[in-house]
């Protein structure tokens, strides 16, 4: 656990005025930030060159990550909503960090949305994104995912496990009637039997 404490990014503009329709940081965002803060030493040790947030909304999570990891990484923040991209840019300015908003649905050709939103079991977007994770994640990379019970996190863990990723539960918290959890995934190291 990091011995340093990092301030919550400024985000007073999110959910108000011009950005009234942009998702304002709530319990899921703050749980995600808490998980990143808990992993701060490990994240700094990784010295990532590219960090990607899918469905950045206000950009508060990426702004926090940028304050932890520093300016050596490129921070790509995707969202399907152009106002969310603009809000992310404003969050970056307010917090003196460099974020690169990209208007797209998921990652790549068709773009990005919030990874914890929508559809059957709340997994319509998650299920579209999961196959991309194993292609995008570097050998040393980490993938964080906020889930609720209705997302069937055990099934997500199994699906990504089939793709060679190992899950580590980070944090969970009750928020109103939901149980929020942050899962962290990393590539499963090859076993010695397979390596020889």
pLDDT of residue 156: 94
Q: At 54, which CATH number?
A: 3.40.50.150
Residue pLDDT, tens place only, 39-90: 999 999 999 999 999 889 999 999 999 999 999 999 999 998 999 999 999 9
Domain that holds residue 51: 17-140
Residue 26: inside a domain, yes or no?
Answer: yes
Residue 112: inside a domain, yes or no?
Answer: yes
Query: Which three-class secondary structure state does DSSP give residue 18?
Result: helix
Residue pLDDT, tens place only, 118-129: 344 567 778 888
Whole-angstrom distance between the N-terminal and C-terminal Cα of the chain?
35
Stated pTM of the model: 0.87
Residue pLDDT, tens place only, 148-159: 998 899 999 999
Count of the separate structural domains present in the chain: 1
Residue 49: inside a domain, yes or no?
Answer: yes
Residue 188: inside a domain, yes or no?
Answer: no
Residue 147: inside a domain, yes or no?
Answer: no
- Confidence label for 109 from pLDDT (cuts 50, 70 and 90): very low
Residue 131: inside a domain, yes or no?
Answer: yes
Residue 154: inside a domain, yes or no?
Answer: no
The whole-angstrom separation of Cα 61 and Cα 33 is: 6
């Amino acid at each position: 656990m990091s011995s340093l404490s990092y301030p919550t990014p400024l985000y007073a503009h999110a959910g108000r005025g011009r950005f009234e329709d942009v998702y304002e940081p709530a319990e899921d965002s703050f749980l995600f930030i808490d998980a990143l803060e808990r992993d701060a030493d490990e994240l700094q040790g990784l010295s990532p060159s590219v960090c990607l947030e899918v469905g950045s909304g206000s950009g508060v999570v990426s702004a926090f990550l940028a304050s932890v990891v520093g300016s050596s990484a490129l921070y790509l923040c995707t969202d399907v909503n152009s106002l969310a991209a603009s809000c992310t840019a404003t969050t970056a300015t307010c917090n003196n960090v460099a974020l690169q908003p990209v208007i797209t649905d998921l990652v790549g050709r068709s773009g990005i949305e919030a990874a914890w939103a929508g559809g059957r079991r709340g997994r319509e977007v998650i299920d579209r994104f999961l196959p991309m994770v194993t292609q995008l994640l570097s050998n040393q990379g980490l993938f964080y995912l906020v889930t609720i019970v209705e997302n069937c996190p055990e099934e997500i863990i199994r699906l990504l496990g089939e793709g060679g990723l190992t899950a580590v539960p980070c944090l969970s918290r009750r928020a109103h009637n939901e149980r929020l959890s942050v899962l962290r995934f990393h590539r499963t190291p090859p076993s010695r039997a397979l390596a020889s």
